[in-house]
């Protein structure tokens, strides 16, 4: 049976600094990171800029709609026309104000997180990327057209300045592990515009990239809108850590894995994938695996790799896809790498130690996968 989420307690500095390349992180934290955190404001915003624009302006749009109905019922067609004109000029300043206020906060948040995590990542031999995938979707679209080009242009440039991991993001999207959000489209829009809006509603942040045990890997946080629970299964959590490993040779099959308590990330694949039993009965009770190559599926998800997966998951639900030259694993759950996180209740030095511990557990998993391919 799937475990409940474990309460993560950060390891001591002595234990953390025993890891290769982790020596000196305590000194870095005390001299650089803690002073920067002490001078920082609380997390500037948890909302997506597109959510802020569309969600924050909803009240103004509804109010304008009520005005149109009232005038139309009182003065007929002339009242309807007058209401549309008044509504347009009333709503536009409200939306512009939201964009003007939200964008500087988001740019400042990007700059701050880049300044905090870059020295930490470099000490370990990794690279930190504040905006994985860069400016994309509706953010790019709104920076090029529409009434708010100036505000969104500034935000788009900031995302591009701190961007990277484009290939890993594309692979994760193709696997279904980074889903497009469900968006209600108001007005006329072509398919490209609709897809851009949907893509923009899922935010990616806190990217780490590097090499471990001969494997290149990328990791980043996915921040979604909350999803509904259906038939006792959560469709998806608000946050997920995506780990994308570049394999030394391409796989000949497609293999998917999920925890029992959540749904498949690409339901349509059931037609050409068959159920697979893992080597360990314990893991087989907790997960469902399907593939079009039973042998290769068990080769990838060995007991050692599954142990490392569970260690990093801390009881959270897991989804994974192995296809082509990528192994991609999504760890559903809290917002990792948030140094003022309501999810953990930690802040300051304890939150930094927890973030370092999570990076270490991530590297352990990459080690295990690298060992499997090294010994084949």
Radius of gyration for the chain, computed over Cα atoms and rounded to the nearest angstrom: 23
Q: What secondary structure does DSSP assign to 322-347, as a single string?
A: EETTEEEEEEEES-TT-TB-TTT--B
- Residue 284, domain extent: 165-375
User: Which residues are CB-neighbours of 168 under 8 A, at least 6 positions away?
Assistant: 132, 209, 218, 220, 244, 326
Instruction: Determine how β-strand 163-164 pairs with β-strand 131-132.
Output: parallel
| CA separation for the pair 353, 28 (Å, rounded) | 12
Task: Output the average pLDDT for the chain.
Answer: 77
Question: What is the C-alpha to C-alpha distance for residues 136 and 140, in angstroms, rounded to an integer?
Answer: 5
> Looking at the domain assignment, is residue 357 inside a domain?
yes
Lookup: tokens for 341: 């996180």
State pLDDT tens for residues 158-212. 888 899 999 999 999 888 887 644 444 444 555 555 444 444 456 788 999 999 9
Beta bridge partners of residue 291, listed in sequence order: 255, 274
Q: Into how many domains does the chain fold?
A: 1
The pair of structure tokens assigned to 343 is: 């999810």
Most trustworthy range by pLDDT among 49-63, 120-134, 271-285, 336-350? 120-134
360/54: higher pLDDT: 360
Q: Across residues 16-34, what is the average pLDDT?
A: 93
What's this model's pTM, rounded to 2 decimal places? 0.77
CB 300 within 8 A of CB 252: no
Residue 234 domain-assigned? yes
pLDDT, residue 232, reads 46
Query: Residue 184's pLDDT is what?
Result: 40
Q: Which of 271, 125, 141 lies closest to 210, judged by CA?
A: 125
Q: How far does CA 252 lie from the centroid of its chain?
A: 28
Q: pLDDT at position 227, please? A: 46
CA distance 179 to 195: 11
Q: Is the pLDDT of residue 115 over 80?
A: yes
Report residue 70's pLDDT band, with 50, 70 and 90 as the boundaries: low
Over range 45-66, report the average pLDDT. 51
Given a cut of 80, whether residue 357 has pLDDT beyond it is yes
Does residue 4 sit in helix, strand or coil? coil
CA dihedral sign, ordered 225, 230, 234, 235? negative
Residue bearing the bigger pLDDT, 98 or 341:
98
Give mean pLDDT, residues 132-149: 73
CA 265 → CA 91, 112, 238, distances in Å? Answer: 38, 33, 15
Residue carrying the six token digits 């999803």: 227
What pLDDT score was predicted for residue 14? Answer: 95
pLDDT at position 61 over 60: no
User: Longest C-alpha distance within the chain, in Å?
Assistant: 81
Q: Which of 39-48, 93-102, 247-256 has the lowest mean pLDDT?
A: 39-48
C-alpha–C-alpha distance, residues 44 and 27, integer Å? 27
pLDDT digits (tens, 9 = 90+) for 296-314: 999 999 888 999 898 888 8
CA atoms within 13 A on the CB side of 70: 8
Q: What is the pLDDT of residue 28?
A: 95
Helix (H) or strand (E) holding 104: helix 58-124
Q: What band does 150 get if pLDDT is binned at 50, 70 and 90?
A: confident
Cα gap 157→163, rounded to integer Å: 10
Of the chain, the percentage scoring pLDDT greater than 70 comes to: 66
Read off the pLDDT of each residue in 325-353 and give the average, rounded to a whole number: 79
CA of residue 233 relative to chain centroid, distance:
20
Taking the CB of residue 233, how many other CB atoms lie within 10 A of it?
Answer: 14
Judge whether residue 123 has pLDDT over 70.
Answer: yes
77 versus 346: the higher-pLDDT residue is 346
What pLDDT sits at residue 87?
56
Q: Fill in the DSSP letter of residue 9.
A: -
Inter-CA distances, 260 with 54, 235, 319, 364, Å: 35, 12, 10, 24
- Residue 216, pLDDT > 90, answer yes
**How many other β-carbons are positioned within 10 Å of the β-carbon of residue 232?**
6
Reply yes or no on whether the pLDDT at 320 is more than 80.
yes
Angle formed at CA 298 by CA 293 and CA 303, multiple of 5 degrees = 165
Q: Residue 125 domain-assigned?
A: no
């Amino acid at each position: 049976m799937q475990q409940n989420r474990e309460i993560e307690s950060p390891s001591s500095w002595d234990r953390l600094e025993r890891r290769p390349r982790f020596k000196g992180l305590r000194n870095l934290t005390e001299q650089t990171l803690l002073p920067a955190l002490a001078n920082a404001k609380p997390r500037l915003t948890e909302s997506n800029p597109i959510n802020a624009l569309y969600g924050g302006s909803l009240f103004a749009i509804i109010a304008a709609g009520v005005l149109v109905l009232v005038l139309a019922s009182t003065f007929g067609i002339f009242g309807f026309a007058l209401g549309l004109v008044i509504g347009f000029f009333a709503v536009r300043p409200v939306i512009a104000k939201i964009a003007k206020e939200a964008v500087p906060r988001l740019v400042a948040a990007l700059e701050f997180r880049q300044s905090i995590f870059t020295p930490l990542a470099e000490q370990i031999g990794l690279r930190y990327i504040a905006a994985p995938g860069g400016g994309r979707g509706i953010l790019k679209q709104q920076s090029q057209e529409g009434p708010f080009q100036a505000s969104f242009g500034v935000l788009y440039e900031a995302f591009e300045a701190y961007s990277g991991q484009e290939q890993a993001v594309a692979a994760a999207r193709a696997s279904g592990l980074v889903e497009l959000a469900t968006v209600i489209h108001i007005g006329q829009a072509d398919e490209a515009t609709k897809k851009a809006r949907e893509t923009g509603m899922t935010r990616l942040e806190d990217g780490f990239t590097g090499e471990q045990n001969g494997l290149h890997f990328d990791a980043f946080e996915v921040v979604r809108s909350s999803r509904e629970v259906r038939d006792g299964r959560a469709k998806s959590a608000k946050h997920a850590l995506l780990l994308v490993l570049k394999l030394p040779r391409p796989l000949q099959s497609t293999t998917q894995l999920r925890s029992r308590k959540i749904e498949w990330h690409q339901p349509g694949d059931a037609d050409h994938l068959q159920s697979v039993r893992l080597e360990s009965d314990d893991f087989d009770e907790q997960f469902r695996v399907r593939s079009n190559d039973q042998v290769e599926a068990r080769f990838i998800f060995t007991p050692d790799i599954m142990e490392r997966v569970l260690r990093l998951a801390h009881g959270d639900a897991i989804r994974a896809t192995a296809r082509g030259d990528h192994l991609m694993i999504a760890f559903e759950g809290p917002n990792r790498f948030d140094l003022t996180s309501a999810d953990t209740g930690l802040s300051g030095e304890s939150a930094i130690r927890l973030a370092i511990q999570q990076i270490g557990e991530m590297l352990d998993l990459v080690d295990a996968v690298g060992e499997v391919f090294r010994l084949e």
